[in-house]
Amino acid sequence: MPEYQWRPWASVELARIFLIVLLHELGHAVVGRWMGCAATEIILSPVGGLAKIEGARR
């Protein structure tokens, strides 16, 4: 039986986290559009993201 290889699994986990962050920020953009605002920029990193929304009400 092959030995557990950590590097391939680390790559898979990093890709999964990136996908989750992407979907989360796209959700912010969709809700912003639904509320009448526009997402001007989405910034992603493996540890988080930011959706910049113009016309957002506070």
The answer to whether residue 47 sits within a structural domain is: yes
> CA-to-CA distance for 50 and 6, rounded, in angstroms?
30
The answer to whether residue 50 sits within a structural domain is: yes
Strands of 1-58, DSSP E: 38-45, 48-54
Residue with tokens 């959706």: 51
Structural domain boundaries enclosing 48: 6-54
Structural domains of the chain, count: 1
> CA-to-CA distance for 31 and 12, rounded, in angstroms?
29
Tell me: pLDDT of 9 over 70: yes
Q: Give pLDDT, residue 23.
A: 93
**Confidence label for 55 from pLDDT (cuts 50, 70 and 90):** confident
Each residue of 12-26: pLDDT tens digit?
888 888 899 999 999
The answer to whether residue 1 sits within a structural domain is: no
Q: Give pLDDT, residue 3.
A: 59
